[in-house]
Amino acid sequence: MKAYLFGWNPAKWEWPGLDDDIEKLKAAGTLEDNWSVVSHKTIQSGDRAYIVRVGVEPKGIFASGFITSQPYQAFRKGRAYYRIEITLDVLLHPGKEQILAMEILKTGNLAEQNWTPQASGISIRLQLVDELEGVWLNFLGTKEEFNL
């Protein structure tokens, strides 16, 4: 399975409805959202998506889901770029709860990946996808077990 990393920098882009989106996900089990993507030539529906908070502490992965659309062109300020739809299955609030910290992402094999991308929707190295998914699921299980 391929996986892609989407960056969110709260210093550049606000997420005023984050609490509402978390509640919607809890109620429905999933949440549809769209993100810009630079890997528009390789990304496909069904690929895994992780969202990492960058620029502001705490930094790390706080959301995951699956790509549910083909890339489509959008325009902002007269400039074309690509977007995709993501169905989120996990969305944590970095300001209110623990997220998968950058310190963990920068250890072992995972250190081979750039976890602070300048562009959103970059490919995660194929040899790291299974390990990342395992670390993410383990982190989520630990959070739930200790109710963090």
Which pLDDT belongs to residue 148?
A: 45
The stretches of the chain forming alpha helices (DSSP H) are 18-28, 102-105, 129-146
Q: Are strands 79-91 and 60-67 parallel, antiparallel or unpaired?
A: antiparallel
Q: Is 24 exposed, middle or buried (0-12, 13-18, 19+ CB in 10 A)?
A: middle
State the average pLDDT for the chain: 93
Statement: residue 103 has pLDDT above 80: yes
Domain boundaries, the chain: 3-146
Q: Count how many residues are written for the chain.
A: 148
Residue 137, helix vs strand vs coil: helix
The predicted pLDDT at position 76 comes to 86
**Distance between CA atoms of 28 and 122, rounded to whole angstroms?**
28
This prediction's pTM? 0.94
CATH architecture, domain 3-146: Roll (3.10)
